[in-house]
Chain A
Amino acid sequence: MEISWRDLWTMSHGMGFGALFMLAFSGAIAEFYRMSAPGSTTLPNLRHSALLRFYLIGMVILAWLTVLSGTYIVYPWYRAVPPIGTIDLSAFPRNLLLSSPSTSGWHSLGMEWKEHVAWIAPIGMTMVAYVYLKYGSSLSEHRSLRRAALVFAVAAFVATAVAGGFGAMINKYAPVRGGETIHLMTGK
C-alpha cells in the first residue's frame, strides 16, 4: 500500500485540516446560537468558557492551516503548466479538466470559486474567536455582537462547505498526484 507525497498533502489539506474544521462548526454554531437565542439567559461556567475558548482557537488554527496548505502547497501542483506537446495530462489537473467540455466547469466554476471563497472562513472565524475571547461571558450583555459572530460563523461554514465540496469533486475528476512515493505497508 503506497501513497504519493502529493496525495498525502492533498489529503491533509482536505480530509485533515478542512474536514476537522467543518466538523467543528456544528459545535461552535450551536453554542453561538444558544447564546444568541431570544430569551437566552444561561451563562457558561468557568470550565465551559475555557473549553469554548480552546475550541474556537483550535478552529482558527485549522482554518488557517487549511487555506495556507491549499494555496501554497496543493494549488501550485494543481495549476502546474504542462510542457508543450504533452499528451498525458494526468499530472496537470487544471489542464486535464480544461481539456474536455464535460469537465471544464469543475475548474472554471469550481476551482475559481473555491480558491477565493475559502479565505472568507479564516477571516470570519478569527473574528468570531476574538470576539468570544475578548468578551467571554459578558457577551450575554451584547446581543448584537453575538448575532454578528453567529452570522460570520455561518458564513465561514458556507464558504468552507463550498470549498470542501468542490475540492472533493475536483480531486475525483483530476486528482493531484505525483512526487515521492511513500510505502505504507506490503500487501499479501
Chain B
Amino acid sequence: MAKTSETLTIADVPSGAGAAAILAAGIGCAVLGVFGLMGDAFKAVGEFFKFYSPTGPLSGVTTSAIVVWLGAWFVLAKMWSGRDVAVARISALAFVLLAIGFALTFPPIVDLLQGK
C-alpha cells in the first residue's frame, strides 16, 4: 500500500532487485578472496591471472571477480526482479560470503590454508 510523506509518495517496490544486488555483492567479495587464494596457491593460476603484466596476478584476480560479480548480479536480477523474496535469509547468506571475502584477503589466513 502506498504511503505519502510531505513531498514524496512511497510506492511499494518488490524486494527482488535489491536482494539480487546484495547477494551478488556477497558473491563478488567471496570470489575475490577465492581467486586471490588460488592465484597465490597455484603457480599456473597465478600466471593465468596476469592479465596486465605490470600489475601481475592482481589484475586478473580483480577483473575476474568483477566479471563474476556483475554476471551473478545480472542472473539474479533476471530471476528476482518484480517479485518479493526472502531478503533476511538472502542477506544472511550475503554476509557469510562477505565474511569469506574478508577472511580470504587476510594474508595469515591465506598462508594457513596453504600450510605455510
Complex Cα spacing A141 to B4, Å: 12
Q: Which of A36-70 contact B (CB under 8 A)?
A: 43-46, 49, 67
Q: Are the CB atoms of A148 and B87 closer together than 8 Å?
A: yes
Q: Are the CB atoms of B10 and A131 closer together than 8 Å?
A: no
A92 within 8 A of B: no
B13 within 8 A of A: yes
With contacts A123-B28, A144-B15, A151-B95 taken as known, whether A117 is within 8 angstroms of B102 at the C-beta atoms is yes
A171 within 8 A of B: no
With contacts A148-B87, A151-B95 taken as known, whether A134 is within 8 angstroms of B18 at the C-beta atoms is yes
Complex Cα spacing A117 to B61, Å: 12
Complex Cα spacing A136 to B10, Å: 9
Output the nearest chain B residue to A155 by Cβ-Cβ distance.
Answer: B98
With contacts A71-B62, A120-B32, A127-B24 taken as known, whether A109 is within 8 angstroms of B69 at the C-beta atoms is no
A2 within 8 A of B: no
With contacts A75-B58, A134-B17 taken as known, whether A117 is within 8 angstroms of B8 at the C-beta atoms is no
CB distance from B10 to the nearest CB of A (A): 5
Complex Cα spacing A137 to B101, Å: 30
A152 within 8 A of B: yes
Output the nearest chain B residue to A126 by Cβ-Cβ distance.
Answer: B25
B91 to chain A: which residues have CB within 8 Å?
144-145, 147-148, 151
The A interface, classified by DSSP as helix, strand, loop or mixed, is: helix
A151 to chain B: which residues have CB within 8 Å?
91, 95, 98
B58 to chain A: which residues have CB within 8 Å?
71, 75, 115-116
Output the nearest chain A residue to B52 by Cβ-Cβ distance.
Answer: A72
Instruction: Using CB atoms and an 8 Å cutoff, list the residues of chain B in contact with chain A.
Output: 3, 5-8, 10-13, 15, 17-19, 21-22, 24-25, 28-29, 32-33, 36, 52, 54-56, 58-59, 61-62, 65-66, 69, 87-88, 91, 94-95, 98, 101-102, 105-108, 110
Q: Name 29 A/B residue pairs within 8 A (Cβ), A-sorted.
A: A43-B8, A72-B55, A76-B54, A79-B54, A109-B107, A113-B107, A116-B32, A116-B58, A119-B62, A123-B32, A124-B98, A127-B21, A127-B25, A131-B18, A134-B18, A135-B13, A135-B18, A138-B11, A140-B3, A140-B10, A142-B13, A144-B88, A145-B19, A145-B91, A147-B91, A148-B87, A148-B91, A148-B95, A155-B98
